[in-house]
Structures are given as C-alpha cells and as structure tokens.
C-alpha cells in the first residue's frame, strides 16, 4: 500500500481530501462508481491499481481475482459484466495487446466494461517503469475490423478518479468497452484528490428490458432509436444468445452481408451519435490564441507550462487539452482551424506521431510535431522552443 499505512477499511467511498497516487485514485474511482468485479494480471506501471483493489474490493463486498494472464482477465470481466456486474481490468501495453481479441468480442456482444491501460515505453516489454504514450492508436484500432470505442486520458490523480467514474457510466450507457489511457507519470504521481459524497457521484444505469423473462416478443439485440439495445443479464431468466458472430436482433448468427452491414454500422454509429456527450476537452488561453498546442496526459502538464512561458514572452499561445482521445474532438479542432486567427498547431506526445495525425487530417494549417520515443516527459522548454520558432 506504499508509504501510506492508513488505508480506509470497509468504507467504499473514502469521502474527503487525500494526497493520493494516480493509480490508487483510479482504483478509488472504480470503487466510487460501484465496482463489483475486478480481474487482472499485475503489470508495471498499473500494479498499484491491482494492489489497491485486492485490498479494498473484498472489504466492500466485491470480488477480486488475480488471473493467469491478460487473456483470462478480459474474458473474466466480460463474463461478470454479462451477469450485471460493473467490471474492470487494469494493465499496461503488453497486457493491452493480449486483450485485443476479446475487446472486439466485447464490442460485438455489446458488453460494457472498463479497461485501464497505464502506458509505458513501448513496443513490447519496452520500458516497464518509464513513461510512454504510444498506445493511442492501439486503443482505437487494436482489435480487428471496424468499430468505435471511447477512451479518456487523465492528466492528474484527480482526473484518474473522476474519469474512471465517467468511464463506467459511458460503458453502461453505450454498452461498449471504455478505456482509461493513463500514462506512467500520471499513474505514479501523488497529488491532492477530493472524493465527494455519494450524492455527488453520478451513476448512469444500464438500459434494461421492459419485457419479462420468457416473453416471446423480446429481441435482445433490437436497438431503440438511440441505437442501443436494452441489456438482459445472464441468470435473470431471459433466453439471450451472445456471440461474436454477426447476429440478428434475436442474437442468433446471421451470416450474410445485409445483417453484417446493419450490425457493424449500428455498433459504430451508436458511438458517433453520442460523441458530443462524451468528448471532453479543456481549453486554456484559446480565446486569442494564434498558436495552439494540442496535448493529453502528462504531456498536457508540460504544455500548460510551455503556454504560460510563451505568454510571458508575448506570444499568443493556447492549449487544447484532449481529455477524450476517442472519439477524437474533431469539432473543437475544426473550429480552431477555421477561426482565421489560429496560424498553426503543435502536437507534443511521447510517441512517434499519433494524435498529430488526427490534427493533420482536420486542418490544412501547419502542424508541428514534437515526438519522443518514451522513457521521459517532454520538457516545457522544448515545447516553448517550437512555439517561439
């Protein structure tokens, strides 16, 4: 439990102010969101999430299982969620790679779950203890085929707490896997975290069937006008067939082009139809900005300092902090690009160029890249140099 010997006992919600590790704040956010089930395989730099929940979750009536590997972990949380549990796993790049197949299964079977990836230097086992931000595209495109998911990127321990709660709510609302793309710096940073009382913690319930179990008319994969079908849980008496195969509204395999077109389009469109509700950004000094830095995670903290330093030198710089990486905040970037005031974008990130591709496809203005392979934060000074160039 780290240096803090006093970890709350049987209280699910540790209401109050804490000086808390980012990983622990993520675990506490999950508990606050009503986490029922965690299955995971510890891996640096996400291990502290696992440790904290191994200690805390059983005390508040939840189940914690340390699995044999990450394939087992993701499979277990899908099963638990299909039975109605709010379910979580936490990993880092190598484990995230192993989870990809069943992430596609979660998308196809429309099973809500939250997957935390605390990014470290990659590819492969890379730099276990050092920061990276190279899993941005993997989160979007890692499993095969076309689908849409939601991914949040916290820049502080407080946001680890807040966004974990939001991730559960979005997962349940849209019936999708939702990712929390943390990075090692944020996961291993300790800062003030305020945990509000229960009444202030929002909970979006899953949409549930209006039919009684056994009613012939119930079609478990028939979506409403919001493109989301109500979810029947295993063990409630409904006859529900879950499959990764293309299926019809009954859930039965329908192996033809028309059924496939309808299903895959709906799975993708149900996310884009709700994109504006889940796409979060923070705008810093953008009102009159001519140079816009687009950054996320720990790099956004360097970028904030850089923008302030540039302002002190009389340069009109601003920061668009991307909190929701997927769906990417296209509208916000387009609006800045079309303002007539912004002259160029700068995208610092601890990878060889991922988020910059999103910005590049949304504007014809110059986009300057600042890339590091991983292992260290990008310094504010190196961003200032590009702003001032």
Partner 1 sequence: MAASVPMTNGVTQVRIAGFGGQGVILTGMLLGKAASLYDGKEAVFTQSYGPEARGGASSADVVISSDPVDYPLVTNPDILVALFQEAYVRFRPLLREGGMLIVDDELVHPDAGETGMHAIPATRMAEALGRRIVANVVVFGYLVGKTGVISRDAAIKAIESTVKPKTYQLNLDAFSAGYERARGDRVS
Q: Which residues of the chain form contacts with partner 1 (CB under 8 A)?
A: 2-6, 17-19, 45, 129-130, 184-185, 188-192, 298, 301-302, 304-305, 308, 377, 379-380
CB of residue 389 to partner 1, shortest distance in Å: 20
* Nearer of residues 173 and 185 to partner 1, judged by Cβ: 185
* Nearer of residues 11 and 276 to partner 1, judged by Cβ: 11
CB of residue 387 to partner 1, shortest distance in Å: 15
217 close to 153: Cβ distance less than 8 angstroms: no
100 close to 264: Cβ distance less than 8 angstroms: no
* Nearer of residues 180 and 307 to partner 1, judged by Cβ: 307
CB of residue 341 to partner 1, shortest distance in Å: 24
CB of residue 125 to partner 1, shortest distance in Å: 13
CB of residue 135 to partner 1, shortest distance in Å: 19
| CA quadruple 137, 140, 143, 147: dihedral sign | negative
End-to-end Cα, the chain, rounded Å: 46
Q: Which residues contact 333 (CB under 8 A, 6 or more apart)?
A: 294, 320, 345, 358, 359, 362, 363
317 close to 307: Cβ distance less than 8 angstroms: yes
CB of residue 305 to partner 1, shortest distance in Å: 4
* Nearer of residues 3 and 255 to partner 1, judged by Cβ: 3
* Nearer of residues 250 and 311 to partner 1, judged by Cβ: 311
Look-up of token digits 């009536």: 61
CB of residue 362 to partner 1, shortest distance in Å: 26
State the angle between helix axes of 47-56 and 22-32 in degrees (0 to 180), rounded to the nearest 10.
40
* Nearer of residues 59 and 308 to partner 1, judged by Cβ: 308
The tokens of 49 are what?
A: 């999430």
* Nearer of residues 363 and 379 to partner 1, judged by Cβ: 379
* Nearer of residues 12 and 18 to partner 1, judged by Cβ: 18
CB of residue 13 to partner 1, shortest distance in Å: 18
The tokens of 286 are what?
A: 């953008």
């Amino acid at each position: 439990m780290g240096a803090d010997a006093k970890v709350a006992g049987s209280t699910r919600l540790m209401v109050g102010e804490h000086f808390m590790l980012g990983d622990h704040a993520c675990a506490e956010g999950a508990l606050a969101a009503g986490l029922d089930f965690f299955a995971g395989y510890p891996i640096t730099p996400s291990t502290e999430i696992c440790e904290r929940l191994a200690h805390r979750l059983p005390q508040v009536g939840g189940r914690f299982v340390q699995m044999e590997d990450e394939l087992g972990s993701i499979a277990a949380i899908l099963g638990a969620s299909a039975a109605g549990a709010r379910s979580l796993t936490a990993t880092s790049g190598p484990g995230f790679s192993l989870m990809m197949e069943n992430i596609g299964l979660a998308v196809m079977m429309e099973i809500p779950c939250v997957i935390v990836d605390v990014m470290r230097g990659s590819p492969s086992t890379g730099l276990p203890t050092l920061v990276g931000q190279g899993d941005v595209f993997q989160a979007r495109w890692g499993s095969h085929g076309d689908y849409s998911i939601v991914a949040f990127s916290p820049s502080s321990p407080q946001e680890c707490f807040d966004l974990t709660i939001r991730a559960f709510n979005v997962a349940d609302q849209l019936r999708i896997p939702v990712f929390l793309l943390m990075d090692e710096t944020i996961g291993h940073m300790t800062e003030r975290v305020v945990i509000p009382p229960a009444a202030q913690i929002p909970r979006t319930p899953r949409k549930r069937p209006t039919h009684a179990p056994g009613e012939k008319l119930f079609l478990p994969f028939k979506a409403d006008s919001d493109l989301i079908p109500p979810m029947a849980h295993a063990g409630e008496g409904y006859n529900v067939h879950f499959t990764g195969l293309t299926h019809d509204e009954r859930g039965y395999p329908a192996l033809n082009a028309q059924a496939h077109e309808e299903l895959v389009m709906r799975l993708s469109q149900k996310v884009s139809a709700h994109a504006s509700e889940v796409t979060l950004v923070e705008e810093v000094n953008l009102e009159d900005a001519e140079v816009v830095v687009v950054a996320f995670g720990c790099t956004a903290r360097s970028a904030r300092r850089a923008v302030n330093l540039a302002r002190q030198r009389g340069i009109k710089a601003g920061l668009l902090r991307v909190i929701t990486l997927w769906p990417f905040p296209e509208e916000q970037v387009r609006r800045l690009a079309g303002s007539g005031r912004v002259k160029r974008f700068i995208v610092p990130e601890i990878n060889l160029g991922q988020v910059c591709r999103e910005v590049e496809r949304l504007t014809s203005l110059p986009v300057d890249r600042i890339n590091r392979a991983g292992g260290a934060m990008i310094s504010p000074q190196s961003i200032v140099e590009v702003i001032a160039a």
